[in-house]
Structure 1
Amino acid sequence: MRNKLFVLFFSFIFLAAALTGCGSNQAPEDNDDPAQEPKGKFSYAMSGLYKPFNYKDGGVLTGFDVEIGEEIAKRMGMEADPVTNPWETIIQGLKAGKYDAIIGSMAYTEERSEQVDFSRPYYRSGAQIFVSPDNDTIKDPEDLTGKVIGVVKSSTFRDVALKYTENDKVIGYDSDVIALQDLPTGRVDAVITDQMVGLVAMKNGLKIVDVGSPLWVDEMAIPVQKGNSQLLEQINAALEDMIMDGTYESISQKWFDRNILGE
């Protein structure tokens, strides 16, 4: 009986020591403000071919869209993770969960809103016709009839081009900038693209000219997966804060010398 009590006593002592040792190895509680620590990554997609909104410089993604995403991530307490995806499958990638959102200059349309949920607009711009300087045959939209028109694949610009010319005369490009660069070569008669993209290309020395007024004004917004109301609310709140405190204005002025939200 005494031996059994002896064994039980030392078994208890060993167990207590083991438990105490485990407790002493635990990391001390972090007393820092949890709001200061990133709460994970916020991944947002773009084509990476839409200068100056999103493009690669020395292999690193940069541009207006990239910086807007970085500021949104910061205000959500997350780490910014910009990624690229081909434009023609970018919504499918979002729906498949490859990234959290698209910050890639996507215009709101009713058709797209059936697949994804959109934030409030984060900038506004128009669809503009551009031609080479020596093209004196295209002076207004009606002159596009039967002409060869360059547009980005799977864009709303393609839809409007088809109103003026045949399907086989609408040339699809991966990048608006490459389409614009084809104007001086004569491969296309005109390019329909975002007004700001063309104007910046002109500012950077590309020999093209704009024709008339914008065909329409698009509201660019940030899509998230359908039903992800929590993320959408966070993005909208971050955008509102950026606009109110002047951060949005600063980013816009850096890239365009003006506020492209138009509010």
Structure 2
Amino acid sequence: MGRIDCIAGIEINKKRETFFDFTTPYYMRKVVVFVREDNTNIQTIHDLRWQVVAGDRHSFVEEYFNQIGLRSQIRLYQTDSKETSMLLLQQKTIVAVIAPLEVGLYLAQKHHVKIKILDNLDPGSPVGIAVAKGNTKLLKQIEISLQKLKQEGTIDSIVAKWRSPKK
């Protein structure tokens, strides 16, 4: 109990590959920074200095913040879910949420949070299913099923259903 067998919909990157084994990617997504529309103090990602931002560890955005020297100047707060992060943004407990574009747009609409997006130049990140490092048996089973879903067009159909118009 308390052990995770797999995580679906996780960004694949070198840092996370030290903790997990991944399937082949099944789509690309863009991760962005969301702020409240009424927050006139935050116009660019550089305005996040000395602020509390909710987001994932080891994401493209965190790495980008490292590259531009911003990561050490913000407080990255990890929540149990993107939904919790969006609710904290709604309550003004935090000033920004780092999340996949489609997820953030969906949650903002669901919770009636008027948001704006700060671009962070994410070219898109591959997404797959992660398993515990070394669990090759489970990885192979998932990969076989994933390839079948890709061949049937099921994956493309699901992604298209949730893909948002470009913002």
Partner amino acid for 2:14? E
Larger relative contact order (CA 8 Å, sep ≥ 6) = 2
State the distance in 1 between where 2:64 and 2:48 align. Answer: 11
State the distance in 2 between where 1:182 and 1:250 align. Answer: 32
Q: Tell whether the 8 Å contact from 1:148 to 1:165 is kept in structure 2 after alignment.
A: no
Q: Which residue of 1 aligns with 2:31?
A: 127
Q: Which residue of 1 aligns with 2:151?
A: 244
Q: Tell whether the 8 Å contact from 1:146 to 1:166 is kept in structure 2 after alignment.
A: no
The answer to whether the aligner puts 1:203 opposite 2:106 as a matched pair is no
Question: Cα deviation per residue 1:40-99 (whole Å; 9 max; x = unaligned)?
Answer: xxxxxxxxxxxxxxxxxxxxxxxxxxxxxxxxxxxxxxxxxxx9x6xxxxxxx35xxxx3
Question: Unpaired runs of 5+ in structure 1?
Answer: 1-82, 86-92
Q: Tell whether the 8 Å contact from 1:177 to 1:201 is kept in structure 2 after alignment.
A: yes
Normalising by structure 1, we get a TM-score of 0.51
Partner amino acid for 1:195? L
SS of aligned partner of 1:137: coil
State the distance in 2 between where 1:168 and 1:128 align. Answer: 16
Percentage of pairs with the same residue: 26
Q: 2:47 aligns with which of 133, 143, 146?
A: 143
Q: Tell whether the 8 Å contact from 1:183 to 1:208 is kept in structure 2 after alignment.
A: no
| CA deviation after TM superposition for structure 1 residue 221, in Å | 1.5
SS of aligned partner of 2:51: coil
Q: Which residue of 1 aligns with 2:95?
A: 189
Q: Tell whether the 8 Å contact from 2:7 to 2:131 is kept in structure 1 after alignment.
A: no
1:38-57 counterparts in 2 under 5 A?
A: none
State the distance in 2 between where 1:228 and 1:170 align. Answer: 30
| CA deviation after TM superposition for structure 1 residue 198, in Å | 0.7
State the distance in 1 between where 2:21 and 2:78 align. Answer: 27
State the distance in 2 between where 1:119 and 1:186 align. Answer: 37
| CA deviation after TM superposition for structure 1 residue 131, in Å | 0.9
State the distance in 1 between where 2:138 and 2:78 align. Answer: 33
State the distance in 1 between where 2:86 and 2:97 align. Answer: 6
| CA deviation after TM superposition for structure 1 residue 200, in Å | 0.7
Question: Alignment RMSD, CA only?
Answer: 3.0
Q: Tell whether the 8 Å contact from 1:117 to 1:227 is kept in structure 2 after alignment.
A: yes
| CA deviation after TM superposition for structure 1 residue 207, in Å | 1.6
| CA deviation after TM superposition for structure 1 residue 215, in Å | 4.0
| CA deviation after TM superposition for structure 1 residue 159, in Å | 5.5
1:83-94 counterparts in 2 under 5 A?
A: 93-94=3-4
Question: Unpaired runs of 5+ in structure 2?
Answer: none
State the distance in 1 between where 2:111 and 2:19 align. Answer: 39
How many residues in Structure 1 have an aligned counterpart in Structure 2?
A: 160
Normalising by structure 2, we get a TM-score of 0.75
State the distance in 2 between where 1:238 and 1:113 align. Answer: 21
